[in-house]
Structure 1
Amino acid sequence: MFARSLGWIVLLGLTLQSVQARDYRYSDAHLHYVDFFQESEGMDALLKAMDQARIDQSMISGVAVAKKWHEDEPKRPRYYAGDDADAYWYSATDIYVAAALEKLEPRQRQRFHPFLTGFNPVDKNAVAHIERMLELYPGLWQGIGEVFTRHDDLTALTSGDTPRANNEAMTRIYHLAAEQDLPVLIHSNITSKRERNPLYLAEIEEPLRNHPHTRFIWAHAGSSMEIHRHQTRLDFLLPTLSRLLESYPNLYIDLSWSVLQPYLLDEQGKPRAQWLALVKRFPERFMLGSDVVGRFDSLSEQLHGFDPFLDALPADVAQKVARDNFLAVLPKQR
């Protein structure tokens, strides 16, 4: 009789554990306060969306380019890929972010971690702009990025030379980032829409190797939704990430929305075992980002979309990925 009662107690405990959902608190490691037209819903909308989504802390940046509404286009485009008009580098985006933060109460301001992004990454003068912004707003900036290098059709649409993560202008910025203890969030596609091989891998691996004291956050793990539309899932992505994480302790991975599917979750929405194993192998190197641009009503959907994957991880690892790892990569003095 005792054994039967004990069995029921164990079964009841396992049942309760299985139905009890984890209540994650999040950090958003990749959020744009403005869109590609430098417009935003504003801080009130952002704070409300963060509270609803249980996001305690958030990276916040502008968008480094502005989309042009061309004279020949009768209708204003809604996104950078809406038509063939150029995008151009736009430095005032950092001013918009700084001004929005300065209007907040100190308690609210502490929830945000602003990154500088308003510079041309193929201009060797860019490092001077970053230094000026650090002087103009002492103690405000906590990172650099999102830096647009290889970025789908945006690369072809942006005026000027093709940006690369391993050009000389960026090399100067990486040195400054190391001196100032600033992480660098960089968008550098691992390949093109048509090449089923890591065509552009050297462009991100060279800085990782040459700048061991600079912390790199690789946006979307080098993937993009545009690549997925043409190539579906890249078989080489996971083994490449495994090798890079093993080789470069200064590399961190931003698991923004384009990584969720088809990589972290399969077609039935179930976590993929190989990706779970990779995160458990490097539990402090992954973080979540929404990558919203100027509109914040999808914040909850973007972050909570990772819950099935987080639930399949050990609880302590899941909380690191959901919240703690992003905070740990920020400047130590902060």
Structure 2
Amino acid sequence: MRNCLAALCLVLTVTPVQAREYHYSDSHLHFVDFFQETDGMKQLLKAMNESNIDHVMISGIPVAKKWHENEPKRPRYYAGDDAAVYWYSATDVLVAAALKELDDDQRKRFHPFLSGFNPNDKNADSHIRRMLDLDPGLWQGLGEVFTRHDDVTALTQGDTPRANNEALTRVYHLAAEFDLPVMLHSNITSKRERNPLYLEELEEPLRNHPHTRFIWAHAGTSMELHRHQKKLDFLLPTVKRLLDDYPNLYIDLSWTMLEPYLLDRSGNVDPAWVALVERHPTRFMIGSDVVGRFDGVGEAMRAFDPFLDALSEPTAEKVARDNFLDVLPRNRGGGR
């Protein structure tokens, strides 16, 4: 008997703890790129099936990159040259057409957000209402709405959008009317200012529209901000305060939040961010933020696993999959 107990203890000692296997909801995916081109739905479904991605927030890109007459070579990305980008409403038509080719079971895995409108135009809410009427029940959210967005802002034809302008105020009222969450890209600061320069542009809508659910894309960060400023030391306390003050705010932890915030360069998890997520376990979600190319979707989602492993298992499951589904229109359910 002693030998059996000793053998059992040895097995328990050397047997590794079972690694968690996550199922994901990708809360931030663009079906097309800045040229409105895509790998297509077949490739996206293949990538999802290979990587335990059960659900996807799917949207277009609200702007298109111009190939300027004076440029001899077609740019590969919006920042490839100095040519402008312009608001492009047909992006939603492309998303809707792709979804209509799917069978019912496949379509339940996709949660389309309508994004093809100009956030500087006070006609935007009327356009959105027409799009909702054209495809009743199709759209489950609005966004990603581009406001402050690094070089995209500089290249966009027309005025710089602000998250607190009058046009978007009308959109937020409509979102509340239809119970649609709004994903906002609103940088917290500029490339040079080491303070939350643009925070009020986000906080004013949070304060004035308590019945509208806002998803803050990348928590106001971007790769361009990181290139110039490395880590924003004021980000964590700012996000903590906003979550405490505004129950209608949700945080999209897509790729620019992964490093240097959730993880350092060595892959070590930041315990302060773990504590914040545990404090608000239903308010965070993860996304790939891929644009029209889907080979890397699974890798982008699995990159969050070290951070998810540092969370309690119930919280990790919420962040990996369920929180995104719970922020969708309440009369539709998550289709889990």
Q: Could you tell me the TM-score, scaled by structure 2's length?
A: 0.96
Task: Deviation per CA, 1:15-64: give whole Å up to 9, x if none.
Answer: 5453x211100000000000000001100000001111110000000000
Moved over 2 A (4+): 4-18
Query: Could you tell me which of 166, 169, 193 is aligned with 2:167?
Result: 169
2:88 pairs with 1:90: yes
Q: How far 1:13 moved relative to its partner?
A: 3.7
Q: Does 1:52 align with 2:50?
A: yes
The residue type paired with residue 117 of structure 1 is: S
**What secondary structure is seen at the aligned counterpart in 2 of 1:301?**
helix
- Indicate which of 172, 182, 185 corresponds to 2:183: 185
1:245-268 CA-to-partner distances (Å, cap 9, x unmatched) read 000000000000000000000121
Matches of 2:284 and 2:90, distance apart in 1: 30
CA distance in 1, matches of 2:69, 2:10: 69
Cα distance in 2 for partners of 1:7, 1:120 equals 70
User: Does 2:261 align with 1:263?
Assistant: yes
Give the one of 236, 245, 248 matched to 1:247.
245
Gaps of 5+ in 2: none
Secondary structure at 2:163 match in 1: coil
Partner residue in 2 for 1:122: 120
Match of 1:200 among 198, 216, 219: 198
State the alpha-carbon separation in 2 of the partners of residues 11 and 320 from structure 1.
35
Secondary structure of the 1:30 match is strand
- 2:284 — aligned with what? 286
Counterpart code for 1:239: P
In the alignment, the residues of structure 1 paired with residue 81 and residue 31 of structure 2 have an alpha-carbon distance, to the nearest angstrom, of 23
Q: Distance in 2 between matches of 1:83 and 1:158?
A: 13
Partner residue in 2 for 1:27: 25
1:1-334 equivalent positions in 2, closer than 5 A: 9=8, 12-13=11-12, 15-16=14-15, 18=17, 20-334=18-332
Change (3 A) 1:206 1:268: same
Q: Residues 12 and 105 (structure 1 numbering): CA distance in 2 closer, same or farther, change over 3 Å?
A: same
Alignment gaps of 5+ in structure 1: none
**Structure 1 residues 7 and 260, CA, compared in 2 at 3 Å: closer, same or farther?**
farther
Distance 1:265 1:87 in 2: 33
CA 1:267–1:74: 2 relative to 1, 3 Å: same
- Pairwise CA distance, 1:304: 0.2
Give the partner amino acid of 2:276.
Answer: L
Distance 1:140-1:195 versus aligned 2 partners, 3 A rule: same
Match for 1:184: what amino acid? V
Q: Distance in 1 between matches of 2:233 and 2:6?
A: 45
Letter in 2 for 1:92: A
Q: Equivalents in 1 of 2:6, 2:186: separation in Å?
A: 54
Q: Report the Cα distance in structure 2 between the residues aligned to 1:223 and 1:8, rounded to whole angstroms.
A: 52
Q: 1:135 to 1:88 in 2, by over 3 A?
A: same
| Matched residue type, 1:132 | R
SS at match of 1:173: helix
The CA RMSD measured in Å over matched residues stands at 1.3
Could you report, residue by residue, the CA deviation over 1:55-86 in whole angstroms, capped at 9, with x for unpaired residues? 00000000000000000000000000000000
Q: In structure 1, how many angstroms separate the alpha carbons of the residues matched to 2:14 and 2:247?
A: 40
* TM-score (normalizing by structure 1): 0.97
How much identity, in percent, do the aligned residues show? 71
CA distance 1:8–1:211, shift in 2 (3 Å) = farther
Report the alpha carbon displacement of residue 11 of structure 1 after superposing the two structures with TM: 6.5
Q: 1:272 to 1:160 in 2, by over 3 A?
A: same
